[in-house]
């Protein structure tokens, strides 16, 4: 009588892991870290709950991977844009496009970040710090150093880089949540959300560049 066959754990499958991540983004966006359930994520991904623990070990590790993937999707492209060879105005306008495009492709990112901030931001700070070393190795600069360099380019004041970034993030994120507010108070209707976003994109670039010029952006740096 032959010996019983040994069972083997499932082999890593990028497609399955990606389905789990996509389902997790939706669940965490809807319910936050504390309200999210791994069983709901498994059901949405069409997998056995055990596979979540196989790929990601714990709910917390899965959540951190969601945060890291969302951060990476925008940080790498922003670094490449801000540190690129094009004229500064071109890079500033392109950065707006990058941020708008990333949020459009990952609509859950705004709700996840909002919920995380409300909950104290512990997981977000941890995910950010975990990815900072890889960004530094890739670009030779920390995020803070990149923003200081941007500030020096714009006005000769390193602290301006942070304000430029915050202005861009604030105006961009508000574009995705403001329709609820402006429709609720009866200001305008936004039946065509894509057209609304195109108009917001152009408006943000105008205000973004007006701020940079007001802070001293030199004419030779303009596209």
Structurally, the chain folds into a number of domains equal to 2
Residue 124 lies in a domain: yes
Residues 156 and 109 in one domain: yes
Predicted TM-score (pTM) of the model is 0.83
Task: Spell out the residues 6+ positions from residue 134 whose beta carbon is closer than 8 angstroms to its own.
Answer: none
Confidence check: pLDDT of 1 > 50: no
- Determine the structural domain holding residue 38 and report its residue range: 13-57
Residues 52 and 75 in one domain: no
Residue 48 lies in a domain: yes
Q: What is the CATH number of the domain that holds 126?
A: 1.10.357
Residues 186 and 101 in one domain: yes
Residues 53 and 81 in one domain: no
pLDDT tens by residue, 166-183: 999 999 998 888 777 777
Residues 128 and 24 in one domain: no
Asked if residues 167 and 208 have their Cβ atoms less than 8 Å apart, the reply is: yes
Residue 6 lies in a domain: no
Q: How confident is the model at residue 7, as a pLDDT?
A: 47
Residues 132 and 35 in one domain: no
pLDDT tens by residue, 31-67: 999 999 999 999 999 999 999 999 999 999 999 999 9
């Amino acid at each position: 009588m032959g010996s019983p066959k040994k069972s083997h754990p499932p082999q890593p499958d990028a497609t399955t892991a990606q389905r789990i991540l996509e389902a997790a983004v939706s669940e965490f966006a809807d319910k936050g870290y504390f309200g999210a359930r791994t069983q709901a994520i498994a059901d949405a991904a069409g997998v056995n709950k055990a596979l979540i623990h196989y790929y990601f070990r714990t709910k917390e590790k899965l959540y951190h991977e969601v945060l890291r993937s969302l951060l990476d999707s925008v940080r790498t492209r922003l670094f490449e844009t801000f540190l690129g060879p094009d004229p500064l105005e071109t890079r500033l306008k392109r950065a707006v496009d990058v941020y708008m495009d990333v949020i459009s492709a990952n609509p859950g990112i705004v709700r996840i970040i909002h919920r995380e901030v409300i909950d104290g931001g512990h997981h977000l700070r941890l995910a950010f710090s975990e990815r900072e070393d890889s960004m530094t190795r890739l670009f030779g600069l920390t995020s803070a150093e990149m923003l200081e360099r941007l500030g020096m380019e714009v006005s000769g004041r390193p602290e301006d880089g942070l304000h430029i970034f915050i202005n861009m993030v604030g105006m961009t994120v508000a574009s995705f949540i403001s329709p609820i507010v402006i429709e609720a108070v009866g200001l305008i209707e936004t039946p065509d959300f894509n057209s609304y976003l195109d108009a917001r994109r152009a408006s943000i670039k105008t205000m973004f560049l007006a701020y940079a010029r007001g802070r001293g952006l030199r004419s030779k740096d303009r596209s």
